[in-house]
């Protein structure tokens, strides 16, 4: 049996069926991300695991034990919420020590454990400060230290970085991943940010309307979306109208939906020599948007539009109105 197992889990709030027959397994030591838009059920599943919500039906197992009806305080789970909920009247030391004091551990042992954990999260020099004296990123690390210092079986992170500015958020993603790997703690992370999920996860479970739409490694989820929803949520895929695409590129796709990543589309100012397995067409650049290290061009083919990504500073650049030649390898078109 996996370290954590959800079996046929359902959760309803009145007539609102939030979780629908969830079957999901988490291996020990993994960092698993529950990814999806607001209202898809990912945070509710996290709260069911923590014991903060009672399931409507189904079972939850942790380390071989059925914990479905076990009180939250006896589950051995640490949790960090979007709002860090630090005690404003307590120092960093006392915030981190709070759970250990509830366990009535000796003061010397508490001080030792708190000191080690603050070393790990890089806040040893803030031990006597209060939350109001800390930055948002430092407060987040205090909340993380408080959740981990009791050595929980599982660490749950419910969108803990959503209120932090973009640059610090990227740094904290790497820090949290490093700490999780250093301690080997099984972690479930909830986010709606696909880039965050890609950076941090061993496994991603993509949620949609109370169900798991697709599960896999970050690479699998990104390169092989299984459904149209997965393709729209991950990777900024082109999802062209199939008949229109087949007409423009003179091919014959019979699938209901196609998905094409913008980075696999090649643009040039001159027509390429015909190659087996490569689709070509001529279109017009209608617009472009800078995304930092890349430029996303939108190419129009008499109503059919495709986005193509080119690394900023490459030898190719185009302007709206330019005629361009487009090449797409047929084996890089995903049939959904």
pLDDT for res 73: 92
Structure-token pair, residue 237: 């895929």
pLDDT for res 289: 95
Q: What is the pLDDT of residues 286-300, one digit of tens each?
A: 999 998 889 999 999
pLDDT for res 85: 85
The H-or-E segment that residue 124 falls in is none
pLDDT for res 327: 97
Structure-token pair, residue 48: 């069911």
Q: 4: which strand partners?
A: 26, 62
What is the DSSP pairing of strand 334-335 with strand 258-259?
A: antiparallel
Query: How many Å apart are CA 260 and CA 304, to the nearest integer?
Result: 13
3-class secondary-structure state, position 38: coil
Q: Are 69 and 82 within 8 A, CB to CB?
A: no
Query: How many Å apart are CA 315 and CA 285, to the nearest integer?
Result: 17
State the burial class of residue 92 (Cβ atoms within 10 Å of its Cβ: 0-12, 13-18, 19+).
buried
Chain centroid offset of residue 24 CA: 16
Chain centroid offset of residue 48 CA: 19
Q: Are 213 and 192 within 8 A, CB to CB?
A: no
3-class secondary-structure state, position 143: helix
pLDDT for res 316: 79
Structure-token pair, residue 140: 């987040």
Dihedral of alpha carbons 237, 204, 156, 168, sign: negative
Report domain extents, the chain.
4-233, 242-335
pLDDT for res 81: 86
Structure-token pair, residue 35: 């990814």
Hey, what's the torsion of the CAs at 275, 278, 281, 284, to 10 degrees? -110
Q: Are 198 and 222 within 8 A, CB to CB?
A: yes
Q: What is the pLDDT of residues 126-170, one digit of tens each?
A: 999 999 999 988 998 999 999 999 999 999 999 988 877 888 888
The H-or-E segment that residue 28 falls in is none
Q: 58 — alpha (psi -120 to 50), left (phi > 0) or beta?
A: left
If you average pLDDT over residues 231-259, what whole number do you get?
Answer: 92
pLDDT for res 1: 81
Q: Are 224 and 214 within 8 A, CB to CB?
A: no
Structure-token pair, residue 170: 């990227």
**254 pLDDT exceeds 90?**
no
What share of residues in the chain are helix, strand, coil (percent, to 5)?
30, 30, 35
Q: 289: which strand partners?
A: 296
- pTM, two decimals, is 0.90
Q: What is the pLDDT of residues 87-122, one digit of tens each?
A: 999 999 999 999 999 999 999 999 999 999 999 999
Q: What is the pLDDT of residues 182-228, one digit of tens each?
A: 999 999 999 999 999 999 999 999 999 999 999 999 999 999 999 99
pLDDT for res 262: 96
Query: How many Å apart are CA 299 and CA 195, to the nearest integer?
Result: 25
CATH (residue range 4-233): 3.40.50.300
Q: Alpha helix locations (H) across 8-88? A: 42-50
Q: 273: which strand partners?
A: none
Q: What is the pLDDT of residues 37-63, one digit of tens each?
A: 999 999 999 999 999 999 999 999 999
Is the domain defined by 242-335 classed in CATH 2.40.50.100?
yes
pLDDT for res 171: 85
**74 pLDDT exceeds 80?**
yes
Hey, what's the torsion of the CAs at 228, 230, 236, 238, to 10 degrees? -20
């Amino acid at each position: 049996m996996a370290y954590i197992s959800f079996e046929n889990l359902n959760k309803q709030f009145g007539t609102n069926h939030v979780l629908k027959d969830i079957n999901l397994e988490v291996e020990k030591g993994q960092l698993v991300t529950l990814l999806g838009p607001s209202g898809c059920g990912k945070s509710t599943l996290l709260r069911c695991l923590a014991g903060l919500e009672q399931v409507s039906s189904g079972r939850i197992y942790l380390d071989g034990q059925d914990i479905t009806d076990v009180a939250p305080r006896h589950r051995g789970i640490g949790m960090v919420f979007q709002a860090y909920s630090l005690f404003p009247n307590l120092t960093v030391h006392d915030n981190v020590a709070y759970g250990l004091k509830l366990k009535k551990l000796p003061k010397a042992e508490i001080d030792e454990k708190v000191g080690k954990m603050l070393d790990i999260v890089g806040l040893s020099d803030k031990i006597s400060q209060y939350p109001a004296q800390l930055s948002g990123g430092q407060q987040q690390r205090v909340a993380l230290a408080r959740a981990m210092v009791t050595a929980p079986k599982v660490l749950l992170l419910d969108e803990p970085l959503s209120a932090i500015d973009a640059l610090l958020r990227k740094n904290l993603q790497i820090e949290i991943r490093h700490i999780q790997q250093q301690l080997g703690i099984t972690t479930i992370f909830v986010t709606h940010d696909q880039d965050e999920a890609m950076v941090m996860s061993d496994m991603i479970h993509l949620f949609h309307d109370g169900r798991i739409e697709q599960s896999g490694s970050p690479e699998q989820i990104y390169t092989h979306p299984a459904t149209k929803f997965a393709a729209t949520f991950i990777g900024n895929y082109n999802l062209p109208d199939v008949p229109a695409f087949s007409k423009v590129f003179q091919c014959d796709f019979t699938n209901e939906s196609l998905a094409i990543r913008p980075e696999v589309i090649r643009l040039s100012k001159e027509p390429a020599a015909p190659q087996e397995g490569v689709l070509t067409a001529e279109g017009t650049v209608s617009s472009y948007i800078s995304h930092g290290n890349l430029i996303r061009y939108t190419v129009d083919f008499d109503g059919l539009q495709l986005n193509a990504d080119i690394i900023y500073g490459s030898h190719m650049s185009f302007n709206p109105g330019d005629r361009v030649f487009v090449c797409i390898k047929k084996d890089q078109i995903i049939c959904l």
